Amino acid sequence: MHQTGNINQADQIYIEILKNDESNFDANHLHGVVLSQKNKHFASIKYYEKAYTINKKNVELLNNFAISLRNMDSFEKSKKLLKDAINIDPSFIKSYLNLSNCYQSQNKLRQGLEVIKEARIIFPESDELIKREITCQLEVYNKTRKEPDLKKAINLIDNSDIESSKDIKYLSLCSMAYIWSCQFEKANNLFKLTEKLSQVPPSVDLLKQTKDKNILKTFIKHEYEQLCHIDSDIDGIRNMKISQSFFNEIKNLYEKDTINYSNDELQTISAMHKILYNKPIKRKENFLNPELDISRIEHDYNSSKPEIAIIDNFLSDEFLKEINVFFRCANIFKRPYPRGYIGTFLSTGMSSVSMLLFSRQLKNTFKDIFHDNHLSQAWAFKYDSEQKGINIHADDANINVNFWITPDESSLDKNSGGMIIWKKKPHLDASFDDFNSMNNASKLLDEVSNVDYIKIAYKANRVVIFNSKLYHATDDIKFKKGYKNRRVNVTLLYS
């Protein structure tokens, strides 16, 4: 039961055993594991300690015991148990990984890296250890921003079988490392792998579990509108791969009055997650408007409290036109959200050499804004004019670059449609979920109820560059109906 995920049922049996035999090693150990899995680390210690008095040489116990201690910030005792585990059984790889994690939790990144290097001497071909060494080396670089640390990470990536990985998060991190070292072709090639991996269609059972079926309606509506737009030949797209029968199925879903979907309809929704068309922008230079007043913009950003700069006519006319065509036609928007918007990310189809070069030109152009911050994430969102857009949140980055590309004539209210930025950041000890979860939106709105804010109206080719840790949200959206009028924003985060 425990191994198949039925931890509550398994735990009932462990507890029953302990009632009859309070010194049973396995029951104490595994009841402690269940408590730990429920994040009840303090409660788990009593049972781990009891099991430890019975058997001090069980390496799985030592590792599980150490994990709970680490989560309680009892780092020295955690490290001692893990070092004991390594001495008892040097072939148990998890001991090295958990010891490295313990150093990492203390922000002792180099010590954590050294543990993995020692393990790799014993297991030089371990994919898990190679992956961890690359990850640790990049964590060290992100702390130091020293080129030798980045070069070491790149060397590890180049000499590993990175392309066999199925881990999108790991591949994306390695892609970022290539971006940071200005190897944009290599970065884009890895992002193309993540694009393929991201297209695994959700099962019918998983779609049935979607609590808010309006999210599926958001997905269907955008997909149908986009396919109709591409088929109209307005943007000259001619090689989209879709059958008439599949298009008819999507059309039927679009015209459906309810959000109660049959199994066959859910199967169609699942199949819609496959990317049908994604031709990248080919431009390699001249992304920004050449007439931008760089020094004034940098001064505006650095002198404002908090840091915000608003720039009009941000992109060159040529790039603005190309990026509009790309986001209208690239069939990569497969991530629907509540409140009616749908997104794509670097790892799900948005990446291209042009986009990565653009991110570098932006950083190099405004050096007194970005300093040693580098690209950490990017996405694009399209909005349904009949819904509300993104609620209040903050992003875990230093600099947020948020620009809008839909033509001005699509907006029905020239005083809204942009964004609101509050002059407040989350508490330093707040978790990512605390400030970036829709479940906490009402709490965050209460938090900023008496806080000054800046309201920036929508304007095509306007960018807002600001401290990404400030609370922000989409302003009220009033755009014309129709696919070409959908509000589109592109966001790049730098850390």
Within-domain flag for 350? yes
Per residue of the chain (495 residues), give pLDDT as tens. Answer: 999 999 999 999 999 999 999 999 999 999 999 999 999 999 999 999 999 999 999 999 999 999 999 999 999 999 999 999 999 999 999 999 999 999 999 999 999 999 999 999 999 999 999 999 999 999 999 999 999 999 999 999 999 999 999 999 999 999 999 999 999 999 999 999 999 999 999 999 999 999 899 999 999 999 999 999 998 888 887 767 789 999 999 999 999 999 999 999 999 999 999 999 999 999 999 999 999 999 999 999 999 999 999 999 999 999 999 999 999 999 999 999 988 999 999 999 999 999 999 999 999 999 999 999 999 999 999 999 888 889 999 999 999 999 999 999 999 999 999 999 999 998 888 888 888 787 788 889 899 999 999 999 999 999 999 999 999 999 999 999 999 999 999 999 999
Within-domain flag for 171? yes
Same domain? For 142 and 189 the reply is yes
184 vs 181: CA distance, rounded Å: 8
Structure tokens at 409: 């004539």
Same domain? For 444 and 305 the reply is yes
User: What's the total number of domains in the chain?
Assistant: 3
| 3-state SS, one letter per residue, for the chain | CCCCCCHHHHHHHHHHHHHHCCCCHHHHHHHHHHHHHCCCHHHHHHHHHHHHHHCCCCHHHHHHHHHHHHHCCCHHHHHHHHHHHHHHCCCCHHHHHHHHHHHHHCCCHHHHHHHHHHHHHHCCCCHHHHHHHHHHHHHHHHHHCCHHHHHHHHHHHHCCCHHHCCCHHHHHHHHHHHHHCCCHHHHHHHHHHHHHHCCCCCCHHHHHCCCCCHHHHHHHHHHHHHHHHHHCCCCCCCCCCCCHHHHHHHHHHHHCCCCCCCHHHHHHHHHCCCCCCCCCCCCCCCCECCCCCHHHHHHHHHHCCCCEEEECCCECHHHHHHHHHHHHHCCCCCEECHHHEEEEEHHHCCCCHHHHHHHHHHHHHCHHHHCCCCEEEEEEEEECCCCCCCCCECCCCCEEEEEECCCHHHECCCCCCCEEEECCCCCCCCCHHHHCCHHHHHHHHHHCCCCCEEEECCCCCCEEEEECCCCEEECCCCECCCHHHCCEEEEEEEC
Same domain? For 348 and 445 the reply is yes
CB 265 within 8 A of CB 253: yes
Same domain? For 211 and 160 the reply is no
CB 397 within 8 A of CB 468: yes
Same domain? For 85 and 144 the reply is yes
Same domain? For 324 and 176 the reply is no
- The boundaries of the domain holding residue 25 are 7-195
Same domain? For 75 and 184 the reply is yes
Q: Which residue, 44, 86, 92, is CA-closest to 67?
A: 44
Q: Which residues of 428-451 are buried (b: 16+ CB within 10 A; e: fewer)?
A: eeeeeeebbeeebeeebeebbeee
97 vs 104: CA distance, rounded Å: 10
User: Residue 353 CB: number of other CB atoms within 10 A?
Assistant: 18
Same domain? For 189 and 235 the reply is no
Same domain? For 228 and 329 the reply is no
pLDDT the model gives residue 432: 82
Within-domain flag for 281? no
Same domain? For 106 and 231 the reply is no
Domain boundary among 195, 223, 244: 195
Within-domain flag for 289? no
pLDDT the model gives residue 161: 94
The model's pTM is 0.92
Within-domain flag for 95? yes
CB-based contacts of 213, cutoff 8 Å, min separation 6: 259, 260, 261
Within-domain flag for 53? yes
Domain boundary among 168, 195, 222: 195
pLDDT the model gives residue 392: 94
Q: Which residue, 90, 85, 39, 97, is CA-closest to 60?
A: 85
Domain boundary among 178, 195, 212: 195
Q: Which residue, 221, 227, 220, 308, is CA-closest to 268?
A: 220
Within-domain flag for 284? no
- CATH number for the domain that contains residue 343: 2.60.120.620
Same domain? For 151 and 88 the reply is yes
Same domain? For 187 and 326 the reply is no
- Residue 52 falls in which region: left (phi positive, over 0), alpha (psi -120 to 50) or beta: alpha
Within-domain flag for 373? yes
Q: Which residue, 224, 328, 333, is CA-closest to 273?
A: 333
- CATH number for the domain that contains residue 165: 1.25.40.10
